[in-house]
Chain A
Amino acid sequence: MGRRVLLIEDEPNIIEALSFILTRDGWTVHTHADGQTASDRIRSLPPDLVILDVMLPGRSGFDILRDLRADAATAAIPVLMLTARGQPKDRDLAMALGASHFMTKPFSNADMLEQVRLLMAG
Chain B
Amino acid sequence: MVGISPSYLNLIEHNRRRIGGKLLNDIARALGSEAAQLTEGAEGPLIEALRAAAAADPGADAELPRIEDFAARFPGWAGLIAAQARRIAHLEARITELADRLTHDPDFATALHQVISAVTSIRSTASILMDDSAVDADWMQRFHRNIYEDSLRLADQSGALIRYLQGPGEDGGITRSAPDDVGRFLEGLDHHVAALEGVRHEEEAALRAEVVAGLDGMTHTRAARLLDDWLMRYTQDARALPLAAFEAAARVCDHDPARLAAEFGVPLAQVLRRLATLPPGHDHPEMGLAVVDAAGGLVTMKPAGGFVLPRSGPACPLWPVFTALGQPGRPIRARVRLPGPTGAELLAHAVAEPTGPPDFDQPPRIRATMLVRPAREGGPDGPVVAVGTTCRICPRTDCAARREPSILG
Interface residue ranges, A against B (CB under 8 Å): 11, 13-14, 16-18, 20-21, 24, 55, 84-85, 105-109, 112
Contacts and interface: CB of A to CB of B under 8 A. Distances in A.
A109 B131 contact: yes
Contacts of A17: 121, 124-125, 128, 143, 146
B119 interface: yes
Given A13-B121, A21-B128, A84-B120, 4 more contacts: A13-B146, A18-B124, A85-B113, A105-B117
A77 to B, nearest CB: 23
A20 B124 CA distance: 10
Contacts of A21: 124, 128
Contacts of B119: 105-106
Nearest to A14: B121
Given A17-B128, A108-B127, A84 B121 contact: no
Interface of B: 109, 112-113, 116-117, 119-121, 123-125, 127-128, 131-132, 139, 142-143, 146, 149-150
Contact of B116 (A13, A18, A84): A84
A30 to B, nearest CB: 18
Contacts of B149: 13
B142 A107 contact: no
19 contacts: A11-B117, A11-B120, A13-B121, A13-B150, A14-B117, A14-B124, A16-B125, A16-B143, A17-B125, A21-B124, A24-B132, A84-B112, A84-B116, A85-B109, A85-B113, A105-B120, A106-B116, A106-B119, A109-B127
B123 A108 contact: yes
Contacts of A84: 112-113, 116-117, 120
A75 B374 CA distance: 58
A12 to B, nearest CB: 8
Contacts of B127: 108-109
B125 A13 contact: yes
B120 A107 contact: yes
Contact of B113 (A13, A20, A55, A109): A55
B153 to A, nearest CB: 9
Contacts of B146: 13, 16-17
Contacts of A85: 109, 113
Contacts of B112: 84
Nearest to A112: B124
B128 A14 contact: no
Given A13-B125, A17-B128, A20-B128, A106 B120 contact: yes
Nearest to B127: A109
A5 to B, nearest CB: 15
Contacts of A106: 116, 119-120, 123-124
Nearest to A109: B127
Contacts of B120: 11, 14, 84, 105-107
A108 B131 CA distance: 12
* Interface hub of A21, A106, A108 (most chain B Cβ within 10 A): A106
B114 to A, nearest CB: 9
A17 B144 CA distance: 11
A84 B109 CA distance: 10
A74 to B, nearest CB: 26
A47 B120 CA distance: 24
Contacts of B143: 16-17, 20
A109 B150 CA distance: 17
A107 B131 CA distance: 15
Contacts of A24: 132
B116 A109 contact: no
A13 B121 CA distance: 6
In the complex, which of the residues A17, A24, A105 has the most CB atoms of chain B within 10 Å of its own CB atom?
Answer: A17
Contacts of A20: 128, 139, 143
A119 to B, nearest CB: 18
A43 to B, nearest CB: 27
A72 to B, nearest CB: 33
Contacts of B124: 14, 17-18, 21, 106-107, 109, 112
Nearest to A11: B117
A18 B116 CA distance: 16
Nearest to A21: B128
Nearest to A17: B124
Contacts of B139: 20
A55 B106 CA distance: 12
* 8 A-B pairs closest in CB distance: A84-B116, A17-B124, A106-B120, A13-B121, A105-B120, A13-B146, A106-B123, A17-B125
